[in-house]
Amino acid sequence: MELKEIMASLEKMGSPQTKKTFMKHGAPEPYFGVKVGDMKTIVKHVKKNHELALALYDTGNSDAMYLAGLISDPSKMSKSDLQRWAENATWYMISEFAVAWTASESPFAIEMAMKWIKSKEEKIACAGWTTYSSFVAITDDAAIDKKQISELLDSIEKNIHTAQNRVRHCMNGFIISVGGYIPTLTKRAIQVAKNIGEVSVDMGGTACKVPDAAEYIDKMLARGVAGKKKKTAKC
């Protein structure tokens, strides 16, 4: 499938109801409102395609940008590609999912995550935290810098309540990822979550809520899934 054909397919898959839902969550035009499940029918045909992913992302269409994250080949992404994606992300579904998934599976995962986390631009900082969260979820513990993770937990404990809105949400997600996927840091992550208490995030009038990190990790432990790594960050 080529770019024109995929864009036409996405347009046909779009629905007014899904578009309305995405709008409530902050999606800017242009986009068609395609359900992720429907989009994955295209992924089955295209699979990984680096050049097509770049072309889709560059359309600026939200549905195409999300699809780009699903078909991207992280091993072929350069640092400049990743930086451009982070800077051009149009809303959180792109910066915190498409960009983060791709970056987390790339050779530059931690380098980009740490760079972005320090950014004063909200969407880029969010991409940094979610990239690291995804990296933790898919990477063997032996390849994870536990000292760096601990330092980031300390930073979150100190700064989360004064961080930017979506950054607070992503920091909370990082605590969950650390606690749920790194057994040696589970207790530390739960304690940080309890010390922080309730995390307030403006969800734009939607029904979405910020999960209690400590409770979320406890549920992972109860289900016996804590410490079990995912095969891919993409979903």
Residue range 151-204, pLDDT digits in tens: 999 999 999 999 999 999 999 999 999 999 999 999 999 999 999 999 999 998
| Residue 194 confidence (pLDDT) | 98
Q: Which of 5, 34, 156 has its CA nearest to residue 93? A: 34
pTM above 0.95, yes or no: yes
Torsion of CA 176, 86, 72, 208, to 10 degrees: 40
Give 95's pLDDT tier (boundaries 50, 70, 90). Answer: very high
| Residue 63 confidence (pLDDT) | 98
Between CA 97 and CA 66 the distance in angstroms is: 8
Across the chain, mean pLDDT equals 97
* Rounded average pLDDT over 85-102: 98
